[in-house]
Amino acid sequence: MTDTLDGWEIVIGLEVHCELATKTKLFCGCANVFGDEPNTNICPVCLGLPGSLPVVNEKAVELALRLGQALHCTAKRGVFARKNYFYPDMPKDYQISQYDQPTNVDGWLDLPSGTRVGIERAHIEEDTGKNTHVGGDGRIHGADYSLIDYNRAGVPLVEIVSRPDLRGSEQAREYVGELRDILIATDVSDARMEEGSMRVDANVSVRRVGDNAYGTRCEIKNLNSLRSLGRAVEYEARRQVDLIAAGERVHQETRHWDEAAGRTRSGRSKEEAEDYRYFQEPDLVPLEPEDALLAELVATMPPLPADRRARLAGATGAEPTDSTVVIAVARGLDELALAAVDAGGDPGRVLTHVENNLAVQGAASIDPTAFATLTRMEIEGALTATQAKTVLAELVNGATDPAVVAAAKGFEAMDTSALETAVDDVLAANPDVWERFAGGDGKAGGFLTGQVMKATNGKADGKAVNAILQRRKGAAAR
């Protein structure tokens, strides 16, 4: 789907919650782990028992600041605030979060495809426990009762709020993918949507292309994968466009994505708009980011995906937004590609192979010099593209000398005159097809090439055959 729909622009802002990769929870020394027996990682603090008090985990602050720096945010004085509402997975019936003074503000993230997305804020807050609904079909509506596990209560989160700079479902998916890669690269979070360590809520609105004002947005929750995100955005955009086209208005509300039904549903009851009554958390004190720490975070920042794309592009003469570059980095094969180019490999062939032929296990451990040699063999015509692919597969399996592999497989380039003879034989055997090809039928050319390949048992190089066919065609035209 493109980023417009029948003349409507799909405007998206994303709120992403990520669990931080700390050993312990945000405000207490309970373990921050996924999957333990229910209520085995609890204490008076994360259970919110009467008399308990929170104390901030210094590692959580460090990770939040590191993430902020990776997103080009300004680190600010952070003040914790209470967000007050009743819900049984919240032990204190308020959540300690940050409200008007978040730790990180005003950053940005570049999508691999090039668009810059503004990041309004990335603030620190605590996670809630987990509800399991029993009876009904496991969903909240129609349940007989619910069971609550507080192992997750108090796990540190960073909530990253983007500006509404995303257009369409593709960009939304790209953004989340890029964010995930950044989170993993910086060791801030393992960002597993399927485990809930990264959760995405999408704010979606539509407006006519060319319009400057924003339409009414709806917040979509319960997106458990990139695929759900994409589908939900597309569904919601269509729903809103249809509403407006029918002369109705979009109501600002929270909606839930129903994966099974493939649609969003109205969520919160509309009369009860929540009043969170935010006020500064009196049990905590402000966080002042220290220059020394910030400098250290910047100095020790690992290469981020954008940095890696830029580097690979620079080394190969491609653009950072080229799909070959994006894919190479996304697959973690940029180091290999760089090493291969460094060893004299042909940049174009390297990138092409990475994109088309190396989506396999073990690709990253190919010997870069062998890879480089392989691409040079191709360029020099010693191997066809198809043959190179086969040799490459052997390199993945551990072979280290492409020349040896090629010889073992009997790959030699055909000499030119033998090739020309092979082509002429096929032309003679297929006069009607030849006539059609000479008359401009491209498909006929494909058939002829195929016949040559067959006749030579695959030894002919497809490009060379084409070149000969074109010459014959040119000669016939004269």
Partner 1 sequence: MPPISRDDVLHVAKLARLDLTDAELELFTPQLAAVIEHAADVEALDVADVPPTAHPYPLRNVLRPDELRPGVDREEVLAMAPDVEDGRFRVPPILGDEP
Partner 2 sequence: MTFARDVATTVRSGARTARDVVDEHLARIEERDPELHAFNLVLADEARAEADAVDERVRRGEYPGPLAGVPVALKDNFCTRGVPTTCSSKILEGWRPPYDATVVTRLRKAGAVIIGKTNLDEFAMGSSTENSAFGPTRNPHDPTRVPGGSSGGSAAAVAADFAPLAFGSDTGGSIRQPAALCGVVGMKPTYGLVSRYGLVAFASSLDQIGPFATTVADAALAFETIAGHDPCDTTSIPEQVPSVTETLDEGVDGLRIGVISEFLEADGLAPDVAAKVRDAADALERAGAKVEDASVPSTIYGLSAYYLIAPAEASSNLARYDGVRYGLRVDAPTTADMNAATRTAGFGAEVKRRIMLGTYALSAGYYDAYYGKALRVRTLILRDFERAYESFDLLLGPTAPATAFPFGAKADPLAMYLNDVFTIPSNLAGHPAVSLPFGTGDDGLPVGVQVLAPALAEASMFRAAAALEAAT
Q: Does 147 bind partner 1 (CB under 8 A)?
A: yes
Q: Does 55 bind partner 2 (CB under 8 A)?
A: yes
Nearer to partner 2 (CB atom), residue 286 or residue 332: 286
Sign of the dihedral defined by the CA atoms of residues 320, 72, 60, 293, in that order: positive
Alpha-carbon distance 367 to 382, whole Å? 20
Alpha-carbon distance 287 to 126, whole Å? 16
Which positions from 145 through 204 interact with partner 2, judged by CB under 8 A? 146, 148
Q: Does 36 bind partner 1 (CB under 8 A)?
A: no
Nearer to partner 2 (CB atom), residue 254 or residue 280: 280
Residue 137 binding result from partner 1, partner 2, none, given CB thresholds of 5 to 8 Å by partner type = none
Alpha-carbon distance 196 to 162, whole Å? 19
Alpha-carbon distance 312 to 150, whole Å? 45
Alpha-carbon distance 119 to 107, whole Å? 5
Exactly one of 53, 140, 407, 418 binds partner 1 (CB under 8 A); that residue is 140
Residue 52 binding result from partner 1, partner 2, none, given CB thresholds of 5 to 8 Å by partner type = partner 2
Q: Does 203 bind partner 1 (CB under 8 A)?
A: no
Alpha-carbon distance 96 to 281, whole Å? 7
Which positions from 39 through 68 interact with partner 1, judged by CB under 8 A? 39-44, 47, 55-61
Report in angstroms the alpha-carbon separations of 372 from 67, 350, 379, 388, 398. Answer: 36, 8, 11, 12, 15
- The residues, any chain, with a CB within 8 Å of residue 343's CB and separated by 6 or more, are 368, 369, 371, 372, 373
Alpha-carbon distance 245 to 122, whole Å? 36
Alpha-carbon distance 26 to 158, whole Å? 11
In the structure encoding, which two tokens stand for residue 365, read together? Answer: 């451990």
Stretch that binds partner 1, among 176-184, 245-253, 282-290, 358-366 (CB under 8 A): 282-290
Residue 256 binding result from partner 1, partner 2, none, given CB thresholds of 5 to 8 Å by partner type = partner 1
Q: Does 284 bind partner 2 (CB under 8 A)?
A: yes
Neighbours of 97 (CB within 10 A): 19
Residue (of 15, 447, 449) closest to 199 by Cα position: 15
Residue (of 423, 429, 439) closest to 476 by Cα position: 439
CA 160, chain centre distance (Å): 16
Exactly one of 2, 35, 37, 51 binds partner 2 (CB under 8 A); that residue is 51
Q: Does 100 bind partner 2 (CB under 8 A)?
A: no
Nearer to partner 2 (CB atom), residue 56 or residue 364: 56
Stretch that binds partner 1, among 131-139, 338-346, 370-378, 400-408 (CB under 8 A): 131-139
Residue type, 144: D
Closest approach of Cβ 230 to partner 1, in Å? 22
Q: Does 285 bind partner 2 (CB under 8 A)?
A: yes
Stretch that binds partner 1, among 8-16, 142-150, 210-218, 445-453 (CB under 8 A): 142-150
Residue 116 binding result from partner 1, partner 2, none, given CB thresholds of 5 to 8 Å by partner type = none
- Report strand pairing: 254-258 vs 218-223: parallel
Closest approach of Cβ 99 to partner 2, in Å? 11
By the criterion CB under 8 A, which residues form the site for partner 2?
Answer: 44, 47-56, 82, 84, 86, 88, 91-94, 146, 148, 275, 277-279, 282-285
By the criterion CB under 8 A, which residues form the site for partner 1?
Answer: 22-24, 28-31, 37-44, 47, 55-61, 85-89, 128, 131-133, 140-141, 143-150, 221, 254, 256, 267-269, 272, 274-277, 280, 282, 284-288, 290
